[in-house]
Amino acid sequence: MQFLQNQKVTLSAFVIGVTALVGCTAGGNNPGIEYAPNMYVSEAYEAYTQTEEMKYNPHGMTMRLPVPGAVAQGQMDFTAYAEGYEASDAWSNPIAATEANVAEGKRLYDINCQHCHGKKGKNDGGVIKSGKYAPPPWDGYEADYIKELSDGKAFHTITYGKGNMGAHGNVLTPAERWKVVHYIRSLSLGDAFQYAPEGTESVDMVEAAPKTFDGFELVDLGPDLEMINAAMSHVQFSDLKYKKFNDASAPHLDKVAKYMIDHPELNARVVGHIASKVKVPGLQGELSEVRANTVVKYLISKGISEDRLTADGKGSSMPIASNDTKEGKEKNRRVEIYFIK
Ligand code: HEC
């Protein structure tokens, strides 16, 4: 009996030992032997799982990548270019100046700004007092300059910096920057600062933001946008080698030309895209750019002034469909037109 029990113990130890050793074969892409794999691998598809079935998604991911140009909620920036200081004058603060929002602005200001501008905005923060850093050219937030400075320009400076002041767009979200702007305003105006009643709704930042593309502010065409996009979607290039669009495209481009003649205040940026990377011998520059230029030349031939048109090629960097199918490739091979200010 005693002997048998010993044997059982030895056997169990052996089985456990072997099992443990076999389990240790994991490494690299080999997960080793998994006992109860359901505990490791979810039955349901998980966002970050990669499986071969998901062949239309990059890297076999379950999750699809956002469409090009997608902006996470709340992250919409007001402008994508630093030159827009003058234009920023027109932006209004979309965040309601409630006490809570201004208090949050103060909290953020105390962390990010007071070491230069001082607790009360008198430009007497430690950095400025050290004398190693030139102070702003105005006395403090109570100076007329700041009183008259628009919220938009203050927001722009906080975002991109100005002179000796660095950019803070990477440390504060747009909403946070607007809250700080309210706080600056409250320091600037003192008792005259008017709070919004608690509960006042802020404007939806994404709605309020002017849409931009490539650093250009887009003109809101309203319902005409659909017509323009539809016309451009008919501009087709038959073969990789050709710079020319199909003859069937011309009437559609004529519509765009007519629209530009009817709207002389609009300028256009013509942007070419190709399906996948190609090197075409004898073709100068990126094919996508060549095609955008083809469209530009056509529009010029239809009486649109050259000054109103710019062209750019995005290569294959902005696909709108899968490049694995013929239809997808056809969709990706396109020229778009953006109306800009
Ligand atoms: C390193 C010191 C420093 C820090 C930190 C700093 N600033 Fe400034 N700030 C300056 C200087 C210097 C100027 C003057 C820039 C100029 O006009 O050349 C300035 C200008 C400004 C202006 C006037 C903008 C305009 O358009 O003329 C505002 C508003 C302002 N800062 C707010 C802030 C806020 C808010 C923060 C924190 C998020 C901040 N600053 C952080 C140094 C600083």
pLDDT (tens digit, 9 = 90+) per residue, 239-264? 655 667 888 889 999 999 999 999 99
Q: Are residues 188 and 221 in the same domain?
A: no
Please give the average per-residue pLDDT across 144-154, as a whole number. 95
Q: What is the DSSP string of 260-273?
A: HHH-TT-EEEEEEE
Residue 69 is assigned to a structural domain of this protein: no
Stretch 98-121: mean pLDDT: 96
Same domain, 144 and 165: yes
pLDDT band at residue 178 using 50, 70 and 90 as cut-offs? very high
pLDDT in tens, 207-222: 555 677 777 888 888 7
Q: What is the CATH number of the domain that holds 310?
A: 3.30.1330.60
% of the chain surpassing 90 pLDDT: 40
The pLDDT, as a whole number, for residue 147 is 95
Ligand 1 centroid–CA 135 distance in Å is 9
Indicate if the pLDDT at residue 78 is higher than 50.
Answer: no
Query: Is residue 34 predicted with pLDDT exceeding 90?
Result: no
**Are residues 198 and 289 located together in one domain of the fold?**
no
Domain containing 30 equals 2-60
The reply to whether 22 and 124 lie within a common domain is no
Domain count, the chain: 3
Q: For 184, what's the count of Cα atoms within 13 Å in the CB-facing half-sphere?
A: 29
Q: Which of 168, 184, 208 is the last residue of a domain?
A: 208
Q: Give Cβ neighbours of residue 275 (< 8 Å, ≥ 6 apart).
A: 316, 319, 323, 328, 329, 330, 332, 333
Ligand 1 atom, smallest distance to 171 CA: 38
Q: Is 221 found in the same domain as 335?
A: yes
Spacing, Cα 165 to ligand 1 middle (Å) = 5
pLDDT for 320 equals 81
Q: Are residues 121 and 55 in the same domain?
A: no
Give 241 Cα–ligand 1 centroid separation in angstroms: 53
